[in-house]
Amino acid sequence: MNKSLIAVSALGLVMAGGAGVVFADASHAPTHKITVFYPGASGMEWILKGLEHSGAKGIKKGEACISCHLDEKTGNEESAEFGRKIVAGEKSKDAALEPAPIKGKPGSIPVTVQAAHDAGNLYLRFSWKDTGFNSGKKMDADNPIKVGVMLEEAGKVENDTVGGCWATCHNDVRTMPGVKDDKKTKYIKDGNLASGKFYDLIQFRSGKGQKPVDGYIADKRVMEGGKALTEAKGELKGGTWTVTFTRKLAGGEGDVKLEPGKLYNFGFAIHDDHTSGRYHYVSFGYTLGLDNAKANINAVKQ
């Protein structure tokens, strides 16, 4: 047999899952069930307002949202209930977090999250059942689905233990109620690349010909310039979306360097139904680690 064909066949076995193989993705990594939910207009200012959010005091002390809203023994989250109420326009204390309720929109999406790494890359995999919801309003006509991931080295950003998108989401950014400035994007208080106060941002876009995003959020959101993202791809098959990222552990400006043993704040968001801005589903904030059993999501080396 031709030696080159033998080599190709052997590679095929490795990629397909022969004994002792190393998978260059996260498809065989442990699964984590995380529910993303519709947050409405719950910006950071609302999170820190004790009169409306009972967890404000804990957040100011550095407690994570999931310390109250996730039962680690059972894995039960309050996310689905939050999302159902918010998208329907139900009041939280004295105010509704969604002033314009969206009829028929699911309040949450259960997502399966997997993570792994090798000597040079982090692999992330997200999968969920397509909701089938169609509002007929295409805010982002080019992209039916977007998946964004944010990473931050723990301890750099103020209130970073909140995680998810909240440290970057404020009442004065575009698409928030009453805001007329359609240019102001997400930002971090005192955000600065030089001081390390920023979130690394990567994003998959499902539209044909749409390039993935590799950027960051500091004093403003920048949707380009990163060097760490190698690949972002996704597909809808059998009613299930699967989106995967391959990201270098090292990077350049606006890229968080990932190292085994350290903890990183981690959150992700899903825009479905051609939405943009705040009209997305978000996760609570979790910790991501490489070979770190203390992390909520531990990416074990392949």
The C-alpha torsion from 141 through 237 and 104 to 163, rounded to 10°, is -80
| Pairwise CA distance, residues 251 & 228, whole Å | 5
Q: What is the pLDDT of residue 16?
A: 37
pLDDT at 163: 63
The CATH number of 25-301 is 2.60.40.1190
Q: What is the pLDDT of residue 183?
A: 94
Residue ranges per structural domain of the chain: 25-301
**How does DSSP classify residue 268?**
E
- Give the model's pLDDT for residue 55: 86
The one-letter amino acid code at 205 reads R
pLDDT of residue 18: 39
> What residues in the chain have per-residue pLDDT under 50?
1-21
Phi/psi at 148 (5° precision): -115, 145
Can you tell me whether residue 216 is helix, strand or coil? strand
162 closest CA partner among 286, 292, 36: 286
Q: Are strands 229-237 and 108-117 parallel, antiparallel or unpaired?
A: unpaired
At residue 83, what are phi and psi to the nearest 5 degrees?
Answer: -60, -40
E-state strands within the chain = 32-37, 91-92, 95-96, 108-117, 121-129, 146-153, 199-205, 213-217, 221-222, 229-237, 240-248, 263-271, 281-282, 286-290, 297-301
> Please, which residues have CB within 8 angstroms of residue 99's CB and are 6 or more apart in sequence?
41, 89, 177
- Tens digits of residue pLDDT in 238-280: 999 999 999 999 988 999 999 999 999 999 999 999 999 999 9
- Tokens 């809808």 -> residue: 236
Residue 302 token pair: 């392949």
